[in-house]
Amino acid sequence: MCGRPLERITETGCDSLIVAAGAGQSHFGNEHFAEYAPGMKTNDDALELRGRILGAFDQAELATDPAEIEKLLTFVVIGAGPTGVEMAGQIAELTHKTLDGTYREIDSRSARIILLDAAPKVLPPISDSLGHAAAKRLSKMGVDIQLGAMVTDLDADGLSVKDGDGTNRRIFSRAKAWSAGVAASPLGRQLTDQSGAEVDHAGRVLVNKDLSLPDHPEVFVVGDMMSLDKLPGVAQVAIQGRTLRRSRHLRRPRSRSRRPRYARAHRLRVLRQRFHGDGLAVQCRRAVHWTPWVGPLMQA
């Protein structure tokens, strides 16, 4: 392990390495998009978006040109995954409830909230029935859902969109939020470059069932950085990975040849059951209630 406190490089030897550096936002190679539609991954992102959204209302209150007011009161969330669904729902609550009556010149309830995705459904990683339920609830809250709509460009005044039938159009909007893509920490690629392991399309490291790297039983990747059995990038998976990995790591004998085979098989079975159990649980409405993203939407 290497660190760089006070500009000094230090190296710390270790028997095992557990890497859990998480994931960040991906703009699919269009890095300039980030300037006009910040991601939703960090506290800084949250503060930036808050400033842009509330600032748009304040500017609309002072504006006199109807077209400018419309542009300021049009909010676009790009990406209808769990984060985008949550964001669109929160902006809808903000405009219809929290800010209602706050302004004199504008009616915050007249704001337009658009949730846009290139995919044909809301919540693509989750089951169709949950996607439909979330879409229905959002529509009831006044969110305009536009699916099969791919963003081709972004600037300060709005975005260019290509629809499924090939039509190009423009949406004028000052405040946009990006929740369309996720990229694992670049540490993942460093690991794979050095170990020969592979990464998936989002840069997540493909791990064995026990979360170790192929041919490197002493190196483990957990949480949003790892790719295993299409498990979603949620806290539940990350927490379980940490717990299981830690207990196995602590118990691992120094000599691998001494480890009883049944013990390893048992641990793997437990791991598989717990992860797969949760993977399936994500499909159940019951389990959605622990996910603050979707929970409120289901209690329509």
Ligand X SMILES: Cc1cc2nc3c(=O)[nH]c(=O)nc-3n(C[C@H](O)[C@H](O)[C@H](O)COP(=O)(O)OP(=O)(O)OC[C@H]3O[C@@H](n4cnc5c(N)ncnc54)[C@H](O)[C@@H]3O)c2cc1C
Residues near ligand X, by CB under 6 A: 20-22, 40-41, 83, 185, 187, 223-225, 233-236, 238, 291-293
Residues 6+ apart with CB under 8 A from 15: 218, 254
Closest CB 138 distance from ligand X, rounded Å = 17
Distance CA 271, CA 279 (A): 12
Distance CA 27, CA 38 (A): 10
Closest CB 82 distance from ligand X, rounded Å = 7
Give the β-pairing of 2-3 and 143-147: unpaired
Two tokens, residue 263: 């013990």
Distance CA 105, CA 234 (A): 42
Q: Between 158 and 188, whose beta carbon lies closer to ligand X? A: 188
Q: Between 69 and 211, whose beta carbon lies closer to ligand X? A: 211
Closest CB 105 distance from ligand X, rounded Å = 32
Which residue's CB atom is positioned nearest to ligand X?
A: 223
Residues 6+ apart with CB under 8 A from 273: none
Two tokens, residue 117: 């995705």
Buried b (16+ CB within 10 A) or exposed e, 86-122: bbbbbbbebbeeebeeeeeebebeebebbbbbbbebb
Q: Between 108 and 192, whose beta carbon lies closer to ligand X? A: 192
Closest CB 238 distance from ligand X, rounded Å = 3
| DSSP, res 96 | I
Closest CB 87 distance from ligand X, rounded Å = 8
Q: Between 161 and 237, whose beta carbon lies closer to ligand X? A: 237
Distance CA 181, CA 159 (A): 17
> Catalytic site residues?
86
Q: Between 51 and 292, whose beta carbon lies closer to ligand X? A: 292
